[in-house]
Amino acid sequence: MNNNRWFDLTPLLDVFLILLFVLLINRQIDLQQIESSYAAENEALMRQNIQLQLNLEQWERLEDVRGIDTLEERVKYDFLKNQSVVIDLVLQTEANQLWINESPTSIYLTNQPERRENQKNRIQQLLTQEWQNQGESGALLLVTLDADTETYRYAYQIMGEAAEEWVRERSMSEAYVIQIR
């Protein structure tokens, strides 16, 4: 009698396995549909991103043109641009990395009093190099200081002291250090 029960459950087991097989196939089809829709959305977002970048570039160019309306203002702007040297010093990240004119340097400022003068000297050397790269020409020298929110105050002070000392050493009558932060 027990043998009959075993045989009675075999068709139920077959039905269960068929349902499991159908469920697995449906899962595979759903996964493929999700992957294809994800790829399509990703591609659409990439196209949209490229279009937005192009629009931003157009707006920036348009803003540059709008900022100087007349030919007379353009001539004045070009004259000032040719007569000045601008060096941007920026501290970035919590490691206090120094950037000069949007280029990273190998200088990371630390809070060690015994290294303070060495760090200032390295900054001044980089300022001299950048000044020479820009041709040392111009009646106006402008050094701007900036930092992101992750940098430390001591690093900003070291950078500022180095820039101010370096500007004082120049023989230019119109040399300035401007703190943006």
Phi, psi of 17 (to 5 degrees): -65, -35
The tens digit of pLDDT for each residue in 93-106 reads 888 899 998 889 98
pLDDT of residue 121 exceeding 90, the answer is yes
Q: 47: burial class by Cβ within 10 Å (0-12, 13-18, 19+)?
A: exposed
Determine the angle formed by the axes of helices 116-133 and 153-169, rounding to 10 degrees.
50
The tens digit of pLDDT for each residue in 51-81 reads 888 888 887 776 665 666 667 777 777 777 7
Percent of the chain residues past pLDDT 70, beyond the cut = 88
Considering all CA atoms of the chain, what is the largest pairwise distance in Å, rounded to the nearest integer?
Answer: 113
Give 174's DSSP letter. Answer: S
On average, the pLDDT of the chain sits at: 82
Give 138's DSSP letter. Answer: -
Strands 97-100 and 84-92: antiparallel
Looking at residue 33, its amino acid is Q
Q: Distances in Å between the alpha carbon of 71 and those of 63, 83, 113?
A: 16, 18, 53
